[in-house]
Amino acid sequence: MDIGKLHREESGRILATLIRLLGDFDLAEEMLQEAYAVALEKWPVEGEPSNPRSWIISTAHHKAIDRLRRGATFAAKREQIARESEPVTQRNDLASDDEMFPDDRLRLIFTCCHPSLASDAQVALTLQTVCGITTDEIARAFLVSTTTMAQRLVRAKRKIREAAIPYRIPAREDLPARVDAVLLVVYLIFNEGYLATSGDALIRRELCAEAIRLGRMLCQLLPTEPEALALLAMMLLHDSRSDARVSKDGELIVMEEQDRSLWRADQIREGTALLESALRTGASGEYALQAAIAAVHANSKSVRETDWAQIVGLYSSLLRIHPSPVIEINRAVAVAMARKPEDGLALLDEIGSREQTSEFHLLHAARADMFRRLGRYADAADVYRRGLSLTTNDVERRFLQRRLAECMPPSAH
């Protein structure tokens, strides 16, 4: 595993462990970068260690201790570091750090989701520390400037430090106050994995896998919480289609063109069973409805045989409890499939007339597709160009470029 790949796939887990060991977000982040610098220097000469993640954890941890010894804070932190560091210092091989630190990311999520933090700070801090999503990417998701988001993250970390918020999964009686926020951040981790905000890959599979792993742990921790079951069901059902969503060359494949034999039947069965269990135990919220939509798709033999009317109804219910432009767009697409493209296009035009949604690339991609289906290729080309100007993911951009080329007259190619 090269260092770049290690950083992309493992930094969230490594950082979560370092924050537990050191009790300080900023120190953990700084020491992680120093450990990577040492790895860049040593690994090409000495060879890659057998467990790169553990090597980075151990190196960063020792560097932090050296730093604290040179400062005035070491005496105050000595007892905590000694207590938290015991597994690291007593074992040399660190070969099974999955067993040693199985819940570090979940502990970090619960810490970030402490009720004393504002809800947007909870989500933003978790996305940064657990997912490794950049401040700029988070700012775009929250529709604020990078400077504003950076200030929010600094304040959130300072509050955790000054209020001495414990780095642990809270007692059972304290769980209800944090459940909604924790479920939300796991959902957002999965979303970022399922459709990456930016970069050269459509799917960040390590984030999808981590979100599903955390979802399973939450179901064990909260066995009577039906929305946790529904969230896990939704993630499994969506993830079951991952292998068919991208070609061997890494290009996007839309659902109607996917090879459904590549959909993972075991995940579809498990996700459907979990959804049924969640519904029996009272799940009726956002995750249950999203899982129900995913189940209709996953259990359909083709786009033509999909019960689009049922999907429209589920999206309508979802909009009532969770208004969102993304849900509105998806409902409009479902309406077009259940009725006719003109009906879906009318809904999309209304959504696009609002200032807050006019810069949303998915809206333009959906409108362009409606024009394409109607044979209005010049209109489709214009809207594809607009979507391209707003798209930040390279795979999505190439897909829209292909669609644009299909809409151009032969003389324009």
Q: Work out the end-to-end distance of the chain between its first and last CA atoms, rounded to an integer number of angstroms.
A: 42
pLDDT digits (tens, 9 = 90+) for 339-388: 999 999 999 999 999 877 878 889 999 999 999 999 999 999 999 999 99
CA count, 13 A, side-chain hemisphere, 359: 6
Rounded to 5°, the CA angle 400-402-405 comes to: 110
Among residues 412, 354, 365, 408, the alpha carbon closest in space to that of 388 is found at 365
Residue pair 407/377 in contact by the 8 Å Cβ criterion: yes
What are the structure tokens assigned to 92, written together? 């040399």
Residues of the chain with pLDDT under 70: 1, 71-103, 141, 143, 198, 410-413
Q: What are phi and psi of 360, to 5 degrees?
A: -90, 115
For residue 74, give Cα distances in angstroms to 77, 78, 120, 161, 354.
Answer: 5, 6, 33, 15, 55
Scan for tokens 């796939």, then name that residue: 9
Residue pair 39/59 in contact by the 8 Å Cβ criterion: yes
**CA–CA gap between residue 396 and residue 116 (Å, rounded):** 38
- What DSSP state is assigned to residue 260? G
Q: Which of 240, 235, 184, 191 is nearest to 213 (CA)?
A: 235
E strand intervals along 10-164: none
Q: Do 296 and 325 contact (CB within 8 A), yes or no? A: no
Count of H-run helices and E-run strands, the chain: 21, 0
Predicted local confidence at residue 122, as pLDDT: 86
Instruction: Report the pLDDT value the prediction gives residue 93, as an integer from 0 to 100.
Output: 37
Summarised one tens digit per residue, pLDDT across range 74-129 is 555 555 555 444 444 434 333 333 433 346 777 888 888 888 888 888 888 888 88
Rounded Cα distance between 16 and 84, Å, is: 13
How far apart are the C-alpha atoms of 104 and 212, rounded to whole Å?
A: 15
